[in-house]
A and B are shown apart, each in its own frame.
Chain A
């Protein structure tokens, strides 16, 4: 069974701090996606990583896909209150790529 575990579950930091959240699995994924979900809204795709070792940057957000394609991390530099939200990682099931497996998320609060 493919599972994605995210850590930490909750993170509360001060504006301006840096942080890293993790998405881990014992299974290989062909790709991983990161979403941000705000309260009362649906998930919005931030990035898809496909190649082992790949690093993608989106302004202050840096996403990395592990060499073995079993894990990924999201690093935020100089966090801002607007970064507050639930960060979800997701990957396609090996047997059915249209079925995304989601982690349970990291809930981030950035205090002004």
Chain B
């Protein structure tokens, strides 16, 4: 069983360029979550998606950031006009169903590390 697959693992962009991060959930998982981790910090929730639906994007900056999870293909986190402060590790996680208060496990990918020069 393949785990959550993220690519690229490392991405370098200059200020003003676009970054696209891809995430393929575990087989059978239809719920995807994106988290961001700044150096020496914990992970911060960004967005929760199901196939073709954005369930909650309250943790994602309103400008320059967007996410999608199409019917076919991976989930994509897109950052337009990147700035140095976007440099971070972006983790995708998936689950087979909704995560309850006491139930459910998130399976994390290995992350995509974005460096903005």
Q: Which residues of B contact A (CB under 8 A)?
A: 4, 31, 33, 35, 40-45, 48, 55-56, 59, 91, 93, 98-102, 105-111, 113
- B110 to chain A: which residues have CB within 8 Å? 40-42
Question: Does B111 lie within 8 Å of A42, measured CB to CB?
Answer: yes
Q: A40-B110, A98-B56 known; 13 other A-B pairs, CB under 8 Å?
A: A31-B102, A42-B4, A42-B110, A44-B108, A45-B106, A90-B43, A98-B31, A98-B33, A98-B99, A99-B59, A100-B45, A102-B42, A104-B41
Q: A62 contacts the other chain (Cβ, under 8 Å)?
A: no
Shortest Cβ gap from A27 to chain B (Å): 13
Given A42-B111, A45-B106, CB of A99 within 8 Å of CB of B48: yes
Tally A residues with Cβ within 8 Å of B: 25
A-B pair number, CB within 8 angstroms: 64
- A48 to chain B: which residues have CB within 8 Å? 102, 105
Ranked nearest first, the 3 interchain pairs of A and B with the lowest CB-CB distance are: A102-B42, A42-B108, A30-B101
Question: Does B105 lie within 8 Å of A43, measured CB to CB?
Answer: no
Bound-state CA distance A99–B99 (Å) is 9
Question: Does B91 lie within 8 Å of A42, measured CB to CB?
Answer: yes
Question: Does A88 lie within 8 Å of B45, measured CB to CB?
Answer: no
- Contact mask for chain A residues 69-112; partner B; CB cutoff 8 A; 1 contact, 0 none: 00000000000000000001010100011111111110000000
Question: Does A98 lie within 8 Å of B43, measured CB to CB?
Answer: no
